[in-house]
Chain A
Amino acid sequence: MAWILPLASSHRFGGIDAPVRILRGLGGGSQGQVFEVAVGEEALALKWYFPTFLRRDPGLAERLAESIRRGSPNGDFLWPLALLRPTGPAAAMLGGAASGFGYLMPLRPAGFQGAVEHAAGRLTISLQNVLRSAFFLARGFHALHSLGLCYKDVSLGNVFLDAGRGRILIGDNDNVEVSGRGGGAVVGTWGFMAPEVALGRSRPDGGSDLFSLAVLLFLLLTRHDPFKGALERAIPCLDLPARRRLYAEEPLFVFDPRDDRNRPDPIEHAAALLTWPLYPRALQQQFERTFGPGLSDRRSRTLTGQWCQQLAATLDQRRLCPNCAEENLLDVRLSGLCRSCGAPLPPPMRMRTAAGLVAVAAGNELHPHHFDLLLAEDLDHPLARMVAHPRRPHLLGLENLSPHPWTLTLQEGEAIAVAPGETASLAHAAILTTPNGEVTIERPGESSAQA
């Protein structure tokens, strides 16, 4: 690729004291190019804009400066750190590129891949980590929207995923702006834009972000496009007029409960048919609402906080098939059949807390929000994790991840102490007492009266 900044050279820029060394080009698009740079000892990313793009977006520098002053909404953003303008000798040396500017941001850490890798089926990820990623994505937007900001250009290309941990990072934050201000040149990406934005009736804002977020969540959860069904299959050439019809003029959700004209094709859209049934009704209904009434009525779109709530609740339903160990999501009080091997799934053991009911399965966690109805869902500080015994995988224990000792009361009445870092077997557990609150271990059959 032809790089607009000279590689392996150091320059002084206005906006930062240390010289910036351009190490290598990372990629480029229609707006500019991204470089790996060293500022002192620190490795960072530098996005440098093409002058042609800057002419389109005269408010860009001011918008970036505002974002830099404000700081990142939470740790899930590759947020702009400093605006760089060439000064003095750098301006002369950078030639034509010097008429522009760029901004520094953190480098994408190792372990994170483009979310496209997930959509393209090129990475292995657990259902739990897909749900966790979706949760963190919704929470990132929740944090952004809570500051009165909107993101505007939601797409698969702007999100990075750590498949092993179920974490995300949101990149390309240069369109972020106070919601409703309506500035900026970028209005979105086809397939993600809300209909009113795609039709040019309004500028992107927090309300249109909610639609785009739902598209991205749907893609993460199903590896399918929410509007590609029979109607897309009927289009020979998927060009812009066709996309406009499909996504903006006559959009119809593939799983619309009242209109089945756009159902996925069993062969071409197999992903949707396989993945959509994995999810509980309560979660499916959020999509039906956002992609149904929410197409035209912005108030019907699921809010970021509601997504967090639903996704966290879905994680609590995760249970493993006793036959094939596959992950299944089912109402914890019900029996069912394994999605993978078809074996019967009896109702699982579960943990009841003041504000939660969590299926017992290796990998499931208890969080502060399970103990307090007033706490927002948060997966960052788990208090307890269910773990399989290293040699007896069917024996489950509860690991104390909190800094406080617990007391576990067994069914026979004996009480044992569980220090931080210790794992207690759940085989005969009845009640766990923690500083956060009490956890009742319910076994199917014996607790149906309470449930």
Chain B
Amino acid sequence: MAFPNVRLASRPLHFIYVCDCSGSMEAQGKIESLNQAIRQSLPGMAAVARDNPEARVLVRALRFADRAAWHIPTPTPVEDLEWVDLQAGGVTAMGEALELLAAELRSPPMEQRALPPVLVLISDGQPTDDFEAGLAALMAEPWARRAVRLAIAMGHDADGEVLQRFIGSDPARGSAGGALPPGEVPGASGEMPRHGPGRSPRRPLQAANATTLARYIQWASTAVVGAASSSASRLADAAASQEAVPLPDLPPTELDPLDEPDPLKW
């Protein structure tokens, strides 16, 4: 006497970390902070995946230093994922990383049907190879264009311009809704400035210390995964949004480095 053994139809949700492992990431324990932040975020990510039966959350990771390579090559269900520590050393082959990413976002190997992928680029420096070619290869893929692309800058040596180009322009910027008060940056999905001055998920997230990094990684792996699977409650001020995935509010952080460009606090 049981209800039929069936379950809600689901689609894959690919979540891919693209991690800078150049030599500078060794300084002030940055690479350890990143390893810790990702490892600590996994239980929360697994919980979000569990609460979203319409999404099969599959995680991969790419690392880049002198060369780019898949760190976790197989799309792995988050509950089965064991994070293997990244090691730092070398230069910053970010362009090659984006090319590797592009090859995986082509169909095939991408499934015919999926939820918008989530791509998280984490870097502390400047690309040393052909970033333009890598970005062009990536953005030629429809799945990359539809992906939620986030960037986390570890410290102030990260190339904000490059990270912004990976994210793309903020679609809310300059759109309907009129001028914003000085110092305000448009929010994730509407005319209203929804984030504190300078902070927006459509801009590189400045992680100047391990705590802020951990909060952003946690946010990307939980709130953003929820948004990409459309399980989050929708807010009225997002109603006019034409975005593919309206991004959730950024997490509260004690310190917003963009407000006060501070020395590094690693």
Give chain A's interface residues, CB within 8 Å of chain B.
1-2, 4, 27-31, 50-53, 56, 96-97, 114, 116, 119-122, 124-128, 130, 153, 155, 157, 184-191, 193, 200, 203, 219, 223-225, 228, 233, 235-241, 243, 268-271, 274-275, 278, 320, 325-327
With A2-B251, A96-B254, A127-B1 already in contact, the answer to whether A237 and B146 are too (CB < 8 A) is yes
Using Cβ atoms and an 8 Å threshold, which residues of chain A touch B47? 27
Using Cβ atoms and an 8 Å threshold, which residues of chain A touch B115? 237-239
With A53-B249, A56-B237 already in contact, the answer to whether A274 and B226 are too (CB < 8 A) is no
In the complex, are the beta carbons of B3 and A30 less than 8 A apart? no
Across the interface, B233 reaches (CB within 8 A) one of A120, A125, A186, A241, namely A186
The distance in angstroms between the C-alpha atoms of A52 and B219, with both chains bound, is 14
The distance in angstroms between the C-alpha atoms of A240 and B189, with both chains bound, is 12
In the complex, are the beta carbons of A269 and B9 less than 8 A apart? yes
- Mark out the residues of chain B between 1 and 29 whose CB falls within 8 Å of any chain A CB in the assembled complex: 1-9, 11
> Once A and B bind, how many residue pairs between them come within 8 Å at the CB atom?
165
In the complex, are the beta carbons of A119 and B234 less than 8 A apart? no
With A30-B223, A185-B236, A240-B241 already in contact, the answer to whether A51 and B143 are too (CB < 8 A) is no
The distance in angstroms between the C-alpha atoms of A219 and B53, with both chains bound, is 12
Q: What are 9 A-B interface contacts by the 8 Å CB criterion?
A: A2-B211, A30-B233, A56-B194, A56-B235, A121-B5, A157-B51, A186-B235, A188-B234, A239-B116
Quick one: CB contact mask for B49-77 with A, threshold 8 Å, 1 for yes? Answer: 01111100000000000000000000000
The distance in angstroms between the C-alpha atoms of A2 and B235, with both chains bound, is 24
- List of 3 A-B pairs having minimum Cβ-Cβ separation, nearest first: A121-B7, A120-B53, A271-B6
Most-contacted residue by chain B among A53, A235, A240, A243 (CB, 10 A):
A240
The distance in angstroms between the C-alpha atoms of A268 and B12, with both chains bound, is 13
With A29-B226, A119-B7, A121-B5 already in contact, the answer to whether A187 and B235 are too (CB < 8 A) is yes
Q: How far is the CB of A168 from chain B (nearest CB, A)?
A: 15
Using Cβ atoms and an 8 Å threshold, which residues of chain B touch A1? 44, 218
The distance in angstroms between the C-alpha atoms of A4 and B211, with both chains bound, is 13
Q: How many residues of B contact A (CB 8 A)?
A: 58
With A126-B1, A186-B235 already in contact, the answer to whether A240 and B6 are too (CB < 8 A) is no
Q: How far is the CB of A442 from chain B (nearest CB, A)?
A: 24
Interface presence of B214 (CB below 8 A): yes
Interface presence of B265 (CB below 8 A): no
Interface presence of B176 (CB below 8 A): no
In the complex, are the beta carbons of A52 and B1 less than 8 A apart? no
Give 19 A-B pairs besides A271-B7, A275-B4 with Cβ atoms closer than 8 angstroms.
Answer: A4-B252, A31-B233, A52-B195, A52-B252, A56-B235, A56-B237, A96-B254, A97-B252, A125-B3, A126-B3, A128-B1, A185-B237, A190-B234, A225-B9, A238-B114, A243-B230, A268-B9, A278-B4, A320-B1
In the complex, are the beta carbons of A186 and B113 less than 8 A apart? no
The distance in angstroms between the C-alpha atoms of A188 and B2, with both chains bound, is 32
Interface presence of B232 (CB below 8 A): yes
In the complex, are the beta carbons of A327 and B146 less than 8 A apart? no
Q: How far is the CB of A4 from chain B (nearest CB, A)?
A: 7
In the complex, are the beta carbons of A125 and B251 less than 8 A apart? no
With A29-B232, A114-B51, A187-B234 already in contact, the answer to whether A240 and B8 are too (CB < 8 A) is no
Using Cβ atoms and an 8 Å threshold, which residues of chain A touch B8? 119-121, 219, 223-225, 271
In the complex, are the beta carbons of B249 and A2 less than 8 A apart? no
Main secondary structure of the interface of B (DSSP, over half): loop
Quick one: CB contact mask for B109-120 with A, threshold 8 Å, 1 for yes? Answer: 000111110000
Interface presence of B128 (CB below 8 A): no
Using Cβ atoms and an 8 Å threshold, which residues of chain A touch B54? 225
Using Cβ atoms and an 8 Å threshold, which residues of chain B touch A238? 11, 113-116, 230
Give chain B's interface residues, CB within 8 Å of chain A.
1-9, 11, 44, 47, 50-54, 107, 112-116, 142-143, 146, 194-195, 211, 214-215, 218, 222-223, 226-227, 230-237, 239-246, 248-252, 254
Q: A193 — nearest CB in chain B belongs to which residue? A: B234
Q: How far is the CB of A184 from chain B (nearest CB, A)?
A: 8
Using Cβ atoms and an 8 Å threshold, which residues of chain B touch A270? 6
The distance in angstroms between the C-alpha atoms of A51 and B242, with both chains bound, is 26
With A189-B232, A224-B8, A241-B242 already in contact, the answer to whether A30 and B1 are too (CB < 8 A) is no
The distance in angstroms between the C-alpha atoms of A240 and B231, with both chains bound, is 11
Q: B242 — nearest CB in chain A belongs to which residue? A: A241
Q: A118 — nearest CB in chain B belongs to which residue? A: B3
In the complex, are the beta carbons of A228 and B9 less than 8 A apart? yes
Q: B107 — nearest CB in chain A belongs to which residue? A: A236
Using Cβ atoms and an 8 Å threshold, which residues of chain B touch A235? 113
Across the interface, A190 reaches (CB within 8 A) one of B11, B50, B230, B236, namely B230
Using Cβ atoms and an 8 Å threshold, which residues of chain B touch A274? 4, 6
The distance in angstroms between the C-alpha atoms of A90 and B218, with both chains bound, is 27
The distance in angstroms between the C-alpha atoms of A124 and B7, with both chains bound, is 11
Q: How far is the CB of B9 from chain A (nearest CB, A)?
A: 5
Using Cβ atoms and an 8 Å threshold, which residues of chain B touch A228? 9
In the complex, are the beta carbons of A186 and B114 less than 8 A apart? no
Most-contacted residue by chain A among B53, B223, B233 (CB, 10 A):
B233
Using Cβ atoms and an 8 Å threshold, which residues of chain B touch A116? 50-53
Using Cβ atoms and an 8 Å threshold, which residues of chain A touch B223? 29-30
The distance in angstroms between the C-alpha atoms of A384 and B116, with both chains bound, is 52
In the complex, are the beta carbons of A124 and B2 less than 8 A apart? yes
Across the interface, A191 reaches (CB within 8 A) one of B142, B218, B230, B250, namely B230
Q: A242 — nearest CB in chain B belongs to which residue? A: B244
In the complex, are the beta carbons of A127 and B3 less than 8 A apart? yes
Q: How far is the CB of B209 from chain A (nearest CB, A)?
A: 13
With A153-B233, A239-B245 already in contact, the answer to whether A2 and B214 are too (CB < 8 A) is yes
The distance in angstroms between the C-alpha atoms of A327 and B3, with both chains bound, is 9
Across the interface, B2 reaches (CB within 8 A) one of A125, A186, A190, A237, namely A125
In the complex, are the beta carbons of B252 and A51 less than 8 A apart? yes
Q: A274 — nearest CB in chain B belongs to which residue? A: B4
Q: How far is the CB of B20 from chain A (nearest CB, A)?
A: 23
Most-contacted residue by chain B among A31, A223, A237, A239 (CB, 10 A):
A237
With A119-B53, A240-B246 already in contact, the answer to whether A186 and B252 are too (CB < 8 A) is no
Across the interface, A236 reaches (CB within 8 A) one of B113, B214, B240, B250, namely B113
Using Cβ atoms and an 8 Å threshold, which residues of chain B touch A121? 5-8, 53
Q: How far is the CB of A183 from chain B (nearest CB, A)?
A: 9
The distance in angstroms between the C-alpha atoms of A193 and B54, with both chains bound, is 17
With A189-B233, A236-B113 already in contact, the answer to whether A200 and B243 are too (CB < 8 A) is no
